[in-house]
Amino acid sequence: MGVRISLPLLKKSGLCNLTFVLLAVAMILMYHNVDEKAGFNTVSAEDFARQLLFVQQHWQLTDMDTYLRGCRTNPRLATVTFDDAYSCIFTHVLPIIQELDIPIMVFVPVSYVGKYNEWDKNLSGYERINILSWNEIERLSQDSHITFGSHGMSHISLKNLSKSQTESELRESKEILEQHLKKQVQCFAFPFGQRKDFGCATPDLLYEAGYKMAVTTLWRRHNLNENPYCLHRVEVKTTDSMEDFQCYLKRKIDFRLIKQEIKNLIR
């Protein structure tokens, strides 16, 4: 396991006693990697613990299934997700969520289990990050704090795939995960997750493949008017200070969403 964070010390720091009033919106947080220090797609373990403590103080942190059932009526619901199933789930994330008693959902790119984030190679600042092995995934699935979902087989955008290829990405990844977990897999996370990456994966196709819900990387705090197969999330950036994190969780206008939608229109 990784270095444990002193959660009692963080709580005494006053972090959990903020007095400003938040605009309550049910939300899904999105992370990728957690390590001792921040880096490529990586939030530091101390920042991660601080962020969860803050959210836990102002929201009711729950699992994805409970979130989906209640997000339209309970603005205080929030849930935490991790894309790519990096090894940090075992080494750094698990001790923190166990101590805070917070459930998370982890999305697995099935063909990359036991490998690394090869799809990121061409990105600026790329760092190789190891992905959980099947043995680790199976062990983690026994912990009540962790639920696994599918991130497809190949971690590729679905935009250029045929309907049959898309069905294969959806169904095969789900079947393989369920064989290893001995549990149903009900949630899918679109690789890359922008509107252009949905391809043929319509709500009907996802439903027919056996999924109850699907998450995107479209940046928005709430899902009050969204269908369960196009859920928005709030991505936590590695460069976000605690002040940044608190600020974008309470402001009325989602500037990141506006910027993102403009980019989607241009492309």
Query: Cβ neighbours of residue 267 under 8 Å, at least 6 residues apart?
Result: 196
Rounded to whole angstroms, the Cα distance separating 233 from 221 reads 6
**Alpha-carbon distance values, 119 to 5, 135, 257 (Å):** 31, 23, 24
Residue 1 banded pLDDT, cuts 50, 70, 90: low
Note the pLDDT of residue 248: 83
CA dihedral 42, 48, 51, 57 (to 10 degrees): 150
Answer yes or no: is 8 within a domain: no
Mean pLDDT of the chain: 89
**Alpha-carbon distance values, 253 to 21, 185, 216, 221 (Å):** 16, 34, 19, 10
Note the pLDDT of residue 192: 96
Note the pLDDT of residue 247: 85
Answer yes or no: is 15 within a domain: no
pLDDT tens profile 95-154: 999 999 999 999 999 999 999 999 999 999 999 999 999 999 999 999 999 999 999 999
CATH number for the domain that contains residue 172: 3.20.20.370
Note the pLDDT of residue 19: 37
Predicted TM-score (pTM) of the model is 0.90
Domain encompassing residue 48: 20-266
Note the pLDDT of residue 258: 67
Note the pLDDT of residue 79: 98
The larger pLDDT score, comparing residue 225 to residue 68, is at 68
Give the distance from CA 29 to its chain's centroid. Answer: 6
Rounded to whole angstroms, the Cα distance separating 241 from 70 reads 30
Residue 166 banded pLDDT, cuts 50, 70, 90: very high
The least confident of 60-64, 66-70, 89-93, 243-247 is 243-247
Query: Cβ neighbours of residue 127 under 8 Å, at least 6 residues apart?
Result: 39, 40, 41, 42
Asked whether residue 7 carries a pLDDT value surpassing 90, the answer given is: no
Asked whether residue 23 carries a pLDDT value surpassing 80, the answer given is: no
Q: Which two tokens stand for residue 107?
A: 């999305």
Rounded to whole angstroms, the Cα distance separating 64 from 213 reads 9
Nearest to 108 by CA among 88, 131, 90, 126: 131
Question: If you search the block for the tokens 């459930």, which residue do you land on?
Answer: 103
Contact criterion met (CB below 8 Å) for 139 and 180: no
Asked whether residue 178 carries a pLDDT value surpassing 90, the answer given is: yes
Answer yes or no: is 10 within a domain: no
Contact criterion met (CB below 8 Å) for 228 and 72: no
Asked whether residue 50 carries a pLDDT value surpassing 50, the answer given is: yes
* Number of folded domains that form the chain: 1
